[in-house]
Amino acid sequence: MDSLIKKQLKQIEKQENKFLSKEKNTFIQSKINPIRQKIEGKIPEGLKTTLDAAFMKGFQLVFVKGNDYIEKTYKKDQMQLEHELNNYAVEKSLSKKYIKKLDKEANSSKRINSTLSVLEGGVLGVLGIGLPDIPLFISVIMRTIYQVSLSYGYDYEKDEEKQYVLLLICGAITYGEEQKEYNEQINVLGEKIDQKTSLGDDLKEYIKTTSDLLSNSLLTAKFIQGIPIVGVVGGAINYSMVSKIGKYASIKYKKRYLLSKIKP
């Protein structure tokens, strides 16, 4: 069992290192950044403050009231049952076949939610909607992470798991040393949760940090989406971001799952 898990761990750590070594997307740099630079100079300071507040309220809304609505879009109980069956098979068969089944569930969720993000970004942009769609965009991100977490046997109801989810978003949308720092925070938090170590961190602080990062990352994208002609650009950015968050979540949850299988 340990040899199989260690081999899988080596593979997932290779994926993790590759993810962390990536530079900013060349498409975004070459196509979107020139538009971003022109528009950023025209964005009033008040709009940034408004956007920061909108993301903060969006996260609070999703965490307080949104989970019930998000869970109506997928079968949580069925996903938990499928994980239990696959997990049992992993422990009994010592075969990577069933680990691949866990991966399959997670990958399916990522594809669906990336498509939803294009509809959210492009269609709402064409309709001329900017700020009001932020809770919907956050819900798509959360739906992506929640389904990946369930695929590897992790629930997201407790505050410490919500903190873990928020750190995943931060780790996915940053670069360089900042990203590596978030990655280490995720490792430490995951270990503390799994070892049932007492946590005293304030969820609100995690929400504030994550909402500010998302706000900065999507400031121009949301501004563009309020202009019908270029709404499709916002959709492209949203797809890229949700896809990246989903990929990173899969890496971290799978690594956490594999580490839990190694006997002390």
Closest CA to 54 of 201, 215, 236: 215
| pLDDT > 70? residue 186 | yes
Task: Give the pLDDT confidence score for residue 166 in this predicted structure.
Answer: 97
Task: Give a yes or no: residue 70 inside a domain.
Answer: yes
Residue 4 lies in a domain: no
Domain count, the chain: 1
Residue 162, number of CB atoms within 10 A of its CB: 18
In a domain, 15, yes or no: no
Output 99 or 84, whichever has higher pLDDT.
84
Judge whether 3 lies within some domain. no
Kindly give, in sequence order, each residue whose CB lies less than 8 Å from that of residue 89, ignoring residues fewer than 6 positions away.
95, 97, 98, 101
Asked if residue 20 belongs to a domain, the reply is no
Q: How confident is the model over 35-93, as pLDDT tens digits?
A: 656 665 666 677 778 888 888 988 888 887 888 888 888 889 998 998 898 888 888 87
| Mean pLDDT confidence for 171-189 | 94
Domain carrying residue 112: 26-259
Give a yes or no: residue 116 inside a domain.
Answer: yes
pLDDT at 19: 95
25 burial type by CB count under 10 A (0-12 exposed, 13-18 middle, 19+ buried): middle
Length of the chain: 264
Report whether 259 contacts 253 (CB < 8 A): no
The type of residue at 213 is: L
Task: Flag whether 18 is in a domain.
Answer: no
pLDDT(153) > 50 = yes
Residue 149 lies in a domain: yes
Nearest by Cα to 125 from 55, 244, 26, 218: 218
